Amino acid sequence: MVYEAVIFDLDGVLCHTDKYHYMAWKEIAGELGISFDRKINDRMRGVSRMESLEILLENFKGNLSWQQKECYAQKKNRIYRCLLKNISEKDLEPEVKQTLDAIKASGIKTAIGSSSRNTKFILEQLGLSGFFDAVADGTDITRSKPDPEVFIKAAEFLGVEPKSCLVVEDAVAGLTAAAAAGMDCAAMGNLKDSAKADHYLDRFSDLLHIL
């Protein structure tokens, strides 16, 4: 398969924000008296902030109004944004940057396809603002992964047919979204051992063997 573009998920693929999501949700869980662990945090990969809150609330005994949920989601985001200030260009692994540079130099288009509404802030922190040919994120969509909307948007922004795009993902929701968008998917992280993908990346630079 000849791919004209690669669409990268952000959290868990280009950088590791999971620990900050975990810390922020842990604080909200503590406030609500809910137990929360890494396993629950893993289920939040790729899904929207509000859907993540709903996952957290599965262990909550009471009932929250829509406004209260909105408040908790906003509070989680304030904590998370503070933590994101710790991220810098040093958090972009050299192998990741070298691979991205090599893909770009080969003429293949690059995009971000992330459910996160903090995508542009994270890219800025990583020194990647303006690097990608297109960025489709949580601010561009009405339905988050596993819905294909964010990947379809990314392909549209790039002007490339979905079938000519390769998605790089670390989450089941993202793999499902890529398939629904009619795109091939390269799995990395835990996803590589747990799901059926078109390609498996042991290291990020393995992408160069696929393209």
Residue numbers of the site for Mg ion (CB under 5 A)?
9, 11-12, 170-171
The rounded distance, in Å, linking the Cα atoms of 8 and 1 is: 18
9, 147, 170, 184: which is the annotated catalytic residue?
A: 9
Q: Helix 172-180 vs helix 149-158: angle between axes, to the nearest 10 degrees?
A: 60
Closest to 168 measured CA to CA, from 203, 194, 144: 203
Under DSSP, is residue 54 helix (H, G, I), strand (E, B) or coil?
A: helix
Query: Binding to ligand G6P by residue 21, rule CB under 6 A?
Result: yes
Could you say which of 11, 147, 170, 184 is catalytic?
Answer: 11
Q: Choose between 77 and 205: whose C-beta lies nearer to ligand G6P.
A: 77
9 is catalytic: yes
How far is C-alpha 170 from the chain's CA centre?
8
Question: Which x/- pattern over 70-89 shows residues binding ligand G6P (rule: CB under 6 A)?
Answer: -------x------------
| Cα dihedral: 189, 193, 195, 197 (round 10) | 70
Indicate whether 49 belongs to the interface with ligand G6P (CB under 6 A): yes
Instruction: State yes or no: residue 99 binds ligand G6P (CB under 6 A).
Output: no
Does residue 176 belong to the site contacting ligand G6P (CB under 6 A)?
Answer: no
Tell me the one-letter amino acid at 139: T
Q: How far apart are CA 186 and CA 126, in angstroms?
A: 22
Rounded Cα distance, 76 and 34, in Å? 14
Asked if 125 touches ligand G6P (CB under 6 A), the answer is no
Of positions 5, 52, 147, 162, contacts ligand G6P by CB under 6 A: 52
Q: Does residue 114 belong to the site contacting ligand G6P (CB under 6 A)?
A: yes
Where in the sequence numbering do the catalytic residues fall? 9, 11
What residue ranges bind ligand G6P (CB under 6 A)? 11, 21, 44-49, 52, 77, 114-118, 138
